[in-house]
Structure 1
Amino acid sequence: MDKVKKPKAKFWLHDPLSSSQRIMHMARTFPPEVLPLIVIVTAGLTGGIVAMAHKLHTDNQLRNKILSF
C-alpha cells in the first residue's frame, strides 16, 4: 500500500527560512486586490489621527477640560 503524504504547513517553528525570506514569500503571494484597501484604511487612520491632534492642539476649552481631570 502506498503511503499518502500529509500536506505540510508553509512555515514550521524550526523552519530554515530566515525572516526576510518569509517576508519575501508573503510579498510574492500577496493578492494585489488588497493593496488599495490597505492604502485607503491607512489614509483614513492617518487623517483621523491628524484631525484629533489638530483639534486638541487648537481647542483651548477642550485642552483645559482634559487637563482638569
Structure 2
Amino acid sequence: MRTRRSPGLIRSLGRSLGEGVMWMGFGWFAIHLPHPWTGYVTPPGEHPCLPPLPQEEIARRLELLEEV
C-alpha cells in the first residue's frame, strides 16, 4: 500500500516556489529599470487632412495614366 504525502509538504513547496518567483520578479524589475521610450506616451493628435488637389493636377495625373 502506498503512503500518501501530506498536503502540507506540497503546499509549502508551492508557497516557497511562488514566493521565490515573486521576489525574483521584484529583483529583476528593480535592477532592469524600464527605458524612457517604453513608458506610456500620450498619443499624438489627429493629423490634418491633406488639402484637395486642384483640377489641373488631377487632369495632369489622368493624362499620365492614359499614357501608361
Query: Normalised by the shorter chain, which TM-score bucket?
Result: 0.3 to 0.5
Q: TM-score, normalised by structure 2?
A: 0.45
Select the structure with the greater relative contact order (CA < 8 A; seq sep ≥ 6): 1
**Larger radius of gyration between Structure 1 and Structure 2:** 2
Q: TM-score, normalised by structure 1?
A: 0.44
